Amino acid sequence: MRLFWISLAGVCAAAAVVFLIRQRLDAAFVAGALAGVAWFLGYRMQLKRILAEDETSEGIKGDDDDSEE
């Protein structure tokens, strides 16, 4: 899913450049904003996955530590 958001961000950024070249400033702004949102969502998903992996590994370590006491 992360690849989808990064690809979408790239397509929107390319569309923003095309709109800028054609002097369609409003459309370029919207496409650029969508590119930023898509990039943010991809980054958010990546961080969410990393945090979930960290919590899982901490949960396993935490279970071992509790059993020793």
Alpha-carbon distances of 14 from 20, 63, 66, rounded to whole Å: 10, 49, 53
Q: Could you read off the pLDDT of 17-69 as tens digits, one per residue? A: 999 999 999 999 999 999 999 999 999 999 998 998 888 887 766 555 555 55
Whole-number pLDDT of residue 15: 97
Please report, for the chain, the start and end positions of each structural domain, with discontinuous segments joined by +: 2-63
Structure tokens at 57: 């590994």
Between CA 64 and CA 55 the distance in angstroms is 14
pLDDT given for residue 55 in this prediction:
83
What b/e sequence results for 55-69 when a residue is b if at least 16 CB atoms lie within 10 Å of its CB, and e otherwise? eeeeeeeeeeeeeee
Please tell me the pTM assigned to this model.
0.73
